[in-house]
């Protein structure tokens, strides 16, 4: 069975529903492939969006309108090179990223590659999404319920949350250190410029004093020279 919107079974843009159109979605460098994906995703969105909670619908729209479906050169041939796949699957350890194994991302993968391709190439993600939501997302995208996090994968989710929290703590500490360093730099610059301004003022006063002394000495010398000349003239 071919996926609607694929090269084998393309969708006519003019036949799309009015709610969301392919023209509203940004295309990447691989415009032909992205255009097909956009058309298929709009068809799917307009078909299923009424079943989605507002939060899910808004997140899906955000992903679509920021181009999360766009292909890379490699992902045109292998789903594992697609951005969404990488967000959902840890290829280093060969396991799902449970926090990212969500309906919205799965929806996009289905729109880009189709169920048949995903069953062959992304069985791990397919099994994980079905396991987390407890309904046949491998067959039907009509929204039924959110994740049901029970069973063994809960430990993985807790571990991911812990790691994410630790990363945020590290980032927060780094931000605090950076802020403190910047504050010290600002204080140093302020003291430098204030000191420089004070030094400049003192130097100006000194210059004026030297100039005054020079002028007084010059006047005195002129007076002495005048007196000598006067004495010589008088004699």
Answer whether residue 221 is part of any domain.
Answer: no
Domain of residue 123 covers 13-148
> Residue 207 above 70 pLDDT?
no
Give residue-wise pLDDT tens across range 61-102. Answer: 999 999 999 999 999 999 999 999 999 999 998 989 988 899
Count of structural domains, the chain: 1
- β pairing state of 89-90 and 95-96: antiparallel
Q: Are 16 and 36 in contact (CB under 8 A)?
A: no
Which of 28-37, 73-82, 146-155 is predicted least confidently?
146-155
Answer whether residue 36 is part of any domain.
Answer: yes
pLDDT at position 106, please? 97
Calpha distance 200→220 (Å, rounded) = 30
For the record, the structure tokens of 53 come out as 């909670």
Answer whether residue 3 is part of any domain.
Answer: no
Distance between terminal CA atoms of the chain?
132
> Residue 179 above 70 pLDDT?
yes
Answer whether residue 42 is part of any domain.
Answer: yes
Answer whether residue 162 is part of any domain.
Answer: no
Task: Classify residue 99 as exposed, middle or buried by CB count within 10 Å of its CB (0-12, 13-18, 19+).
Answer: middle
Answer whether residue 181 is part of any domain.
Answer: no
Band of residue 206 on the pLDDT scale cut at 50, 70, 90: low
Q: Choose between 194 and 41: higher pLDDT.
A: 41
Q: Are 28 and 115 in contact (CB under 8 A)?
A: no
66-70 long-range contacts (CB < 8 A, ≥24 apart) are 66/26, 67/25, 67/26, 67/27, 67/28, 68/105, 68/108, 69/25, 69/34, 69/37, 69/38, 69/41, 69/108, 69/111, 69/112, 70/26, 70/27, 70/28, 70/29, 70/30, 70/34, 70/37
Answer whether residue 84 is part of any domain.
Answer: yes
Q: What is the pTM of this model?
A: 0.62
Calpha distance 184→202 (Å, rounded) = 26
Mean residue pLDDT of the chain comes to 80
Q: Choose between 61 and 167: higher pLDDT.
A: 61
Answer whether residue 8 is part of any domain.
Answer: no
Calpha distance 82→112 (Å, rounded) = 10
Q: Residue 78: how many CB atoms within 10 A of its CB?
A: 14
> Residue 3 above 50 pLDDT?
no
Calpha distance 118→210 (Å, rounded) = 88
């Amino acid at each position: 069975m071919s996926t609607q919107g694929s090269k084998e079974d393309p969708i006519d843009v003019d036949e799309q529903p009015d709610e969301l159109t392919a023209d509203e979605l940004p295309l990447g460098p691989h415009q032909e492939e992205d255009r097909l994906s956009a058309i298929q995703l709009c068809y799917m969105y307009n078909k299923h969006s009424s079943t989605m909670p507002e939060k899910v619908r808004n997140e899906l729209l955000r992903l679509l309108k920021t181009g999360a479906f766009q292909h890379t050169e490699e992902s045109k041939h292998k789903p594992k090179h697609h951005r969404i796949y990488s967000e959902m699957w840890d290829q280093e350890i060969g396991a799902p990223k449970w926090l990212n194994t969500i309906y919205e991302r799965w929806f996009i993968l289905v729109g880009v590659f189709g169920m048949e391709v995903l069953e062959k190439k992304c069985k791990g993600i397919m099994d994980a999404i079905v396991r987390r939501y407890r309904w046949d997302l491998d067959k039907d995208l009509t929204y039924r319920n959110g994740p049901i996090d029970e069973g063994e994968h809960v430990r993985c989710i807790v571990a991911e949350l812990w790691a994410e929290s630790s990363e945020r703590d590290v980032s927060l500490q780094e931000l605090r250190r950076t802020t403190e360093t910047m504050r010290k730099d600002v204080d140093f610059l302020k003291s430098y410029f204030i000191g420089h301004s004070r030094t400049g003022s003192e130097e100006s006063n000194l210059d004026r004093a030297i100039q005054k002394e020079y002028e007084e000495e010059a006047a005195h010398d002129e007076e002495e020279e005048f007196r000598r000349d006067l004495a010589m003239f008088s004699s």
